[in-house]
Amino acid sequence: DLESQFHDGVHLCLLMGLLEGFFVPLYEFHLTPHDFDQKVHNVAFAFELMQ
């Protein structure tokens, strides 16, 4: 289910690195986001990787 897999941005960050062919450092995003702000940070970071 896409809605549950990408809701926190973790898989989205890893997918962007995989599609672009580079390693995304694990310290750049929250692997286990605990609150809404951390999830927003992950999604925003994934959008930065898309540019």
Looking at residue 4, what is its pLDDT?
Answer: 81
Q: What are the mean pLDDT values of the chain's consecutive 10-residue runs (51 residues total)? A: 83 94 94 95 94 88
User: Count of CB atoms within 10 A of residue 15's CB?
Assistant: 15
Of 18, 26, 38, 24, the closest CA to residue 9 belongs to 38
> Which residue ranges form the domains of the chain, and what is each CATH number?
2-50 (1.10.418.10)
Looking at residue 7, what is its pLDDT?
Answer: 87
Looking at residue 5, what is its pLDDT?
Answer: 82
